[in-house]
Amino acid sequence: MEDKPARNFKYVGRSIPIEDGAAKASGRIRYTGDMAIDGMLHAHLVFSQVPHGRIKNIDISEAMAVPGVVKIYMRDNAPQIRFNSQVWFAGQNAVEDQELFPEVVRFIGDTVAAVVAETKAAALTAASLIKTDYELLPMVIDPEDALSGQVAVHDSGNPFFTMETSYGDTAAAMAAPEGIVVEDRVETPKIHHAAMENHVCIAAPDHRGRITVHSPCQIVYSVRLIVAKVLGLPYHKIRVIKTPIGGSFGGKQEITLEPYCAFFAKDLNRPVKIEFDRLASIIATRTRTKTIGYVKTVVSPEGKIMARDMKHIIDTGAYTSNGRVICYAMGKKLSRLYRIPSQHYQAIAVHTNTAIAGAARGYGSPQVQTIAEINLDNVARRLQMDPVEFRLKNLVHPFDADPGGGPNLGNARIIDCVHKGAEAFGWREKWNRTKPEGRWQTGVGMACATHGNGYYGAYQEFGTMTIRMLEDGSIMLNAGLHDLGNGTVTAMKQIVAEVLEVALDMIEAPEADTDISPYDIGCQASRVIHVCGANAMQAAEELRSLLIRESAKIFQCSEEEVLLENGMVYTSREPEKKIGYGQMAAAIQQKNQVELICTITYRSPANPGSYAVNFVEVAVDTYTGFVKVVDVVAVHDIGQAINTGFVEGQIHGGVQMGLGLAISEDIAYDARTGVAGGASFSKYHLVNAPDMPPVRVLLIEEGEEHGPYGAKSVGELATIPVTAATVNAINHALAANFTILPVTPDKIMAMLTARQASNRTLLR
């Protein structure tokens, strides 16, 4: 991607390196796993080895004999406070059905006990000696089986939440005589986030009875809220410090280790560390929901969508977590991509005896939009219409209203994305080329996607930032920032630098710390650039105005005559007499008795859509079923890139994650045993660097009214369209209709074998 400032910006639009990149590359940065506190103990959690059972007895006698063991925790000597791990603000309505140590375990990975010892080795050894007896209970793995209620994961029942929304008259449109109805059942798997850093946490008590939690999390105020609840402490007794994070992709948005760590530290009055290995991170943290979608679309013979009916069965695993919230989140995307006059949406969230599902990059969008886009390709096939032309007939236009009742779509440029991407990809030529004969079959596919920019229209959406100019002219931006390795801090600095005409190395922007950071709801909902960035911009503009106002008093001139440029202040009357920011800040303190400091609470006024289209080319080996992704063109409508390098990195990473959902990734629970088949990286198949195709990134930067310098989100959007585009390309290559993901070689070979057998039968 070309690195050049857009619209004559000095800092915005440039590929400025991430500020901690060199420290990460050289190993100088200290992740939580690298941290140690004097007197620190190590804890190891003991997991259930059965998918569903009532604990009858836990024998810890051998474990307690291990040298270095300090204490072993179980249900009887721990809080039995129920909580919900996804709650992010006080007063949120959520089902609280988790406990630190439940009486009934509901999946392999539920917590039975915990050993705290002087060393990590002692804790691990002791944990391996704990013996648990269970009264085995019936289990259910498949979410559709769970609907029957024959096996109850909770006493309240498995289908624990159902919602429906609709607009228009879907039933009448479905019955229209001219309508062409296309139905599909599409299934997306449970996946692991696969961040390089496993889950880890440190908690430390102090002499005042406060607990400090060090966590590579996405929402420090959520951690504080839930830890305080479980420990029965007021908020001011809990301090949460966001530590450098080695990847999340949503996996560290919800609270997992923090309540355990904080409780052990409080109880023992010593620092405690918990660090998961890969097995624990896969089976005992969070997954993406497995989702089964039934979709029925009716179109006119000319290719106009008349109505759509969608029903989703959403597998949230053993506990509720975000099960209710994600039902709403999935539904609200479905009216913001195509002009659909009538639509009905139903979501049913169910419990199964599998790992808890939670936040994952896209928060339901990759599932529901993959389901929808595979169906739309089948609609185009039924109409014998080019999938690009079919979508262009139906995509939303800029500033369309959301018929589903959400905020206005804003400057939605998805049509521009499709035109630009189709040309760059060479869609027309590739779609119409003659199919090759022989072992390798090629195909192309495309899919569109949308995502939001924060919570406006659903939940409260605001944040607070304090910005100061120090006496040497440097800038402190105090905010509840959470950098997930995606460059949040650097991007905020670019926005502030653009406003204040100051070099980036003169700006400091610490990450979130509940003791000192103003309140912010964290890194979620694709809100950071659009909402936090606008907050930073508004704060910087307020500081700029204050600097100009106070400098005018020093210069004894009007505010209109004061100019700022490259860290210097001067007047239009005497432009040759420039004063550095630091000298002016000191003078303002001395003569005006004013500190250059501003605090701004920003409330987002909008939630526009970000848009994308991916074009994918594949080659399928009909001898092995292996899928090689040959080419990807990714076009994104993001308003304005704050940092073009970060945007491109987000899109490359999103493509990698979406490809895994399409062709290889699946935790894959055994229906007979409840064991996760993909519980290690040797069995959980990621798309690795050698398998990545070239990804050509194109941006549509037409601005967005309320975004900082016109910017809107890209991080979650980047992973959504490539899954369906890849499946559509495989279906095009093989003239198939794969709808159960991932489309693995065994599924391809089973289809080809069945087709060959059918052809032989027909020839007889």
Point out the residues that are catalytic.
716
SS3 for 507-576, per residue? EECCECECCCCCCECCCCCCCHHHHHHHHHHHHHHHHHHHHHHHHHHHHCCCHHHEEEECCEEEECCCCC
Residue type at position 15: S
Three-state secondary-structure class, residue 177: coil
**Contact call for residues 637 and 417 (beta carbons, < 8 A):** yes
Q: What DSSP line would sit under 444-510, residue for residue?
A: EEEEEEEE-SSSTTTS--EEEEEEEE-TTS-EEEEE-B---SS-HHHHHHHHHHHHHT--GGGEE--
Give residues with Cβ within 8 angstroms of 180, minimum separation 6: 298, 299, 300, 301, 379, 382, 383
The single-letter DSSP state of residue 591 is I
Three-state secondary-structure class, residue 612: strand
d(CA 613, CA 495): 27
Measured over all CA atoms, what is the biggest interatomic distance in the chain, rounded to whole angstroms? 101
CA 99 to chain centre: 25
Orientation of helix 365-383 relative to helix 721-734, angle to 10°: 30
Specify burial of residue 583 (Cβ count, 10 A radius: 0-12, 13-18, 19+): middle
CA 703 to chain centre: 23
The single-letter DSSP state of residue 717 is G
**Residue 384 CB coordination number (10 Å):** 6
d(CA 412, CA 415): 8
**Contact call for residues 170 and 343 (beta carbons, < 8 A):** yes
d(CA 448, CA 525): 19
Give residues with Cβ within 8 angstroms of 574, minimum separation 6: none
**Contact call for residues 448 and 476 (beta carbons, < 8 A):** no
- The dihedral over CA atoms of 74, 77, 81, 85, expressed in degrees to the nearest 10, equals -40
**Contact call for residues 107 and 355 (beta carbons, < 8 A):** yes
